[in-house]
Amino acid sequence: MDKEFVFSCGCKLPIINGKLELDRDNLNEFCQRTWEMYRKGQTQSIFQLESFFAKNWTKELAPNSIRDAAALIAIVRPGVLQSKDDNGESMTRVFCKRKNGIIEYDRSGHFNELLADTYSVLIFQESLINISKKLAGFSPKQSNKLIKSVGKKNAELLFSIEQEFIHGCEKVGTVSKEEAAHIFNNIKASARYLFSLNHSWAYAAFGYETAWVKAHFPEQYVCAWLRIAKEEAKPLEEIRAMVSEARRLKIDVKGPSARNLPKVDFFIKRGTVYFGMDSIKGCSEKTFNKIMNSGCDFKNIMWSDFLVNYSQLLNKKQMVAMIRVGCFDSHTIKSRIAMEYEYSNWCLLTEIQKKKCRDVFKENPDSDFVSFFKSVFKVYPRIEKFKIILFALQNPSFDLSESNDNIIQNEKELLGINISCSKIDQIANIEVKNKIKSVLDDVYDKNKVYYILGEISDFRDFKIKTGKMLGQTMGSFKISDETGEMDVVCFPDKLDRFQAGLFDGNVIYLHGKKSNRGGLIVEQIYET
């Protein structure tokens, strides 16, 4: 009997030749660990459900089957969202409420019975084909004509096919002429958003397979996706989004470290996902091959040793970049700015002077660069340059302690994302701190006030082209925290009041209400 590995959720995978055999045929379609991830909106990188908008609706629908996921893919499209029921509520929300038993609805009658799987909401083209066949006796040619006519909204064609439908219903005898006319009105109302069932199921099944892997191998999944992200059209956006997702999944993500060479791509080490060295702007695998071929002991080397004996293998721009993103943080207790200061002084030496220093280091290796340079000066007290540099090292002209702002700026510039800390971490003493919600904390509730602390990006202002506020200026931006990103809208009256603080990179504290599209409408912005 083949061995198998059993996950805590009950899912099983066979073990073949000492390895887990991962195959789509082995995946449990009803894994609650996977569906719980959907219900929490943790669908970053899941096909068709990656956007903030889709995540919000995923939480609201709370799918627990591929059938639900297929319907979700269909109902988050513009047509369904913009179509209203008799009470003026979006059909997408109607679907979610019916699925979750929040509202009752009529299940009787032939029309509703044929739509039992979609809670009496017509969302699939195939459902329309089935209705026309069962109720009106339509041939495949007539059903195709019906789909085209409602899709194109051709009045003349619609009238013609409507008469065929009503006449067909009378002939089959399943429903009355009056009921047939009512059903066709429902069909016309649904026409703008009908989606292919085959596409939805295929998308949903593929998405579930991806989600299953993500739920059972989260670290490996995140690492693999980060590698893929580098090849996407907007790699930095994809990387930022996945890092945020990793944090929501409680996966630790760290920046590049020289101790991890020769790992130059994203990799996993003891449950932590690390950025590869080639993530650093201006560096590449070729850059580090020089060091790897030098015999450098990456795991055990100290900062002073690397600076004296190996820094010449890199150009100044590469070396500074490595320092600024924290590659040497684990090699010393010094701040990054202190390391850069020591390196800048080292670069003042001639090659002959550097060779003298290396000779001294061989005899007196020291983990601290300043202490080491004292030894150099003792051996060569008459060399004026050594005296000047030693004085500079012992008496720096500026503060060598590291600020979070400096770290954030450097990491964003050189990695495209700040890993070590964030501007949000610096914000304290907020009066209503207990009210703060994360960006992806709750499902939509139009009556609820949301308090958000986050960083602004993609701010823009624009003129309103229609409606009562024609010609006025409003703003939009994204606000992000460690959990994700949310779209924010600022109407003209609020923009006039708060525009001074609305710029990319600024951290703001605001409250507002969610819009029908899942974003936030600004009510108030506070000082942080």
Number of domains making up the chain: 2
pLDDT for residue 516 is more than 70: no
With a pLDDT cut of 70, the percent of the chain lying above it is: 92
DSSP 352-384: HHHHHHHHHHHHS--SSHHHHHHHHHHH-TT-H
* Distance, CA of 98 to CA of 247 (rounded, Å): 33
**Quick check: 74 and 202 in contact, CB under 8 A?**
no
* Distance, CA of 162 to CA of 299 (rounded, Å): 76
* Distance, CA of 189 to CA of 280 (rounded, Å): 53
pLDDT one-digit tens code per residue, 352-367: 999 999 999 998 887 7
Residue 29 DSSP one-character state: T
- Which positions ≥6 away from 83 have C-beta within 8 Å? 90, 91, 189, 190, 192, 193
Q: Which has the higher per-residue pLDDT, 241 or 95?
A: 95
Domain end (from 197, 213, 248): 197
- Tell me how many helices (H) and strands (E) the chain has: 22, 11
Domain end (from 197, 223, 246): 197
Residue 144 falls inside a structural domain = yes
Residue 511 falls inside a structural domain = yes
What is the arithmetic mean of pLDDT over 296-305? 87
pLDDT for residue 527 is more than 80: no
pLDDT one-digit tens code per residue, 45-86: 999 998 878 888 899 999 999 999 999 999 988 777 777 777
- Pairing state of beta strands 507-514 and 449-463? antiparallel
Burial of 400 (0-12, 13-18, 19+ CB in 10 A): middle
Domain end (from 166, 197, 228): 197
pLDDT at 437: 58
What is the arithmetic mean of pLDDT over 378-387? 94
Q: How far apart are the first and last CA of the chain?
A: 63
Residue 163 falls inside a structural domain = yes
Range of the domain at 482: 427-526
Residue 212 falls inside a structural domain = no
* Residue position matching structure tokens 């900062």: 303
372 closest CA partner among 431, 311, 316, 302: 302
Burial of 364 (0-12, 13-18, 19+ CB in 10 A): middle
pLDDT for residue 408 is more than 50: yes
**Quick check: 458 and 504 in contact, CB under 8 A?**
yes
Residue 31 falls inside a structural domain = no
* Distance, CA of 467 to CA of 457 (rounded, Å): 27
Which secondary structure element, helix H or strand E, spans residue 402, and what is its range?
A: none
Q: What is the CATH number of the domain that holds 459?
A: 2.40.50.140
Residue 148 falls inside a structural domain = yes
Tokens of 364: 């007196």
pLDDT at 482: 66
**Quick check: 278 and 264 in contact, CB under 8 A?**
yes
* Distance, CA of 486 to CA of 511 (rounded, Å): 13
Q: Of 201-205, 459-463, 470-474, which one has max mean pLDDT?
A: 201-205
Please provide the average confidence, as pLDDT, over all residues in the chain: 87
Residue 303 falls inside a structural domain = no
pLDDT for residue 1 is more than 50: no
pLDDT one-digit tens code per residue, 106-129: 888 888 899 999 999 888 989 999
Residue 333 DSSP one-character state: S
DSSP 152-165: HT-HHHHHHHHHHH
Residue 63 falls inside a structural domain = yes
Dihedral angle of Cα 197, 198, 200, 204, to the nearest 10 degrees: 130
pLDDT for residue 130 is more than 90: yes
pLDDT one-digit tens code per residue, 34-48: 999 999 888 989 999
pLDDT for residue 434 is more than 70: no
* Distance, CA of 398 to CA of 392 (rounded, Å): 10
